Structure formats: structure tokens, C-alpha cells
């Protein structure tokens, strides 16, 4: 009976250790809406758990969601429906410039297109900084990430 309890306790501790490891490996996400189109078909979110601050520079993960079957892909994917787009970018709050770092489009058929720049990435050269485009989404994202104060 004692041997069985030790085995049960050992199994329980091993299962608990695996559960804790799995929980710590998962990255938390907290998507906050920063812009929504007037027709409600498009919405942009910032993941505040992944927002990084270094001086005047903010680096953020963005999620752009389209209402089902309202946005088509482009080029070879023009016949596909966009579900959402994940992107990552840096924003210079003083210069009002931005730099893309990664961009992936997820379609409702389950396919994904990545628009990273592998040549520059391989060489360790970042995309150049560019003035913030005259765009309500870019403006809303810049305003939000530059005003963001992490919880203490």
C-alpha cells in the first residue's frame, strides 16, 4: 500500500511539473482594440503584454481583423478571404517614424502568407525608418503605443 501511494504521489508531482512547464512556456497575450472602421468590418489591436519600450522607441505586435468574407488577399491570393493579419513594428514616438519588422496574413482556408524580408533579416539589417503614413490606423496605433505606460 505504501509503495502504491509513493507511485501515485510521484505521478502526481510529475504531472504537476509538466503542467507548470507548459504554462510558463505559453506567452500571455492581451489584445487591446485601438481602431475600428466606421462600418465595423475592420479592427486593429495591440498586444500590450508584448509591447516593449526602449527610450522613445516602442515595439509592438499588432492584429488586424477583418469581418468574415469582407477582405480579399492581393496578388496570387486575390481569390482568398483574409481572416486577420499579424504584424510587428517599431515606432519612434519623437520622430513620428515607424519600421515594419514582420507581417503575416492568415486566410479563412487556413493558409498563411509571410511578408518578412528574409534577405535583410539574414544580414541583420533592419528595415529603414519611414515617416508615419497618413492613415487613421497608423495614427491610432502610434498614439496608443506612445502613450502606453506599463503596469507597475
CATH code of the domain containing 109: 2.40.128
Residue 126 pLDDT class (50, 70, 90 cuts): low
Boundaries of domain holding 133: 28-147
On whether residue 114 sits in a domain, the answer given is yes
How far is 53 from 130, CA to CA, in rounded Å? 19
Is the model's pTM score more than 0.85? Answer: no
Instruction: List beta partners, residue 86.
Output: 63, 104
How do residues 57-68 score in pLDDT, each as one tens digit?
999 999 999 999
Domain count, the chain: 1
* DSSP designation for 137: H
Amino acid at each position: 500500500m505504501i509503495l502504491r501511494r509513493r507511485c501515485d504521489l510521484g505521478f502526481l508531482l510529475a504531472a504537476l511539473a509538466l503542467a507548470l512547464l507548459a504554462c510558463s512556456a505559453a506567452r500571455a497575450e492581451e489584445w487591446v482594440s485601438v481602431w475600428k472602421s466606421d462600418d465595423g468590418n475592420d479592427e486593429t489591436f495591440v498586444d500590450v503584454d508584448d509591447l516593449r519600450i526602449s527610450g522613445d522607441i516602442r515595439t509592438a505586435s499588432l492584429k488586424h481583423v477583418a469581418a468574415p468574407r469582407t477582405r480579399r488577399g492581393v496578388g496570387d491570393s486575390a481569390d482568398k478571404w483574409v481572416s486577420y493579419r499579424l504584424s510587428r513594428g517599431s515606432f519612434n514616438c519623437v520622430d513620428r517614424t515607424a519600421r515594419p519588422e514582420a507581417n503575416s496574413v492568415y486566410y479563412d482556408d487556413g493558409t498563411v502568407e509571410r511578408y518578412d524580408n528574409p534577405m535583410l533579416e539574414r544580414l541583420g539589417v533592419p528595415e529603414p525608418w519611414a515617416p508615419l503614413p497618413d492613415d487613421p490606423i497608423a495614427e491610432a496605433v502610434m498614439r496608443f503605443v506612445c502613450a502606453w505606460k506599463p503596469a507597475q
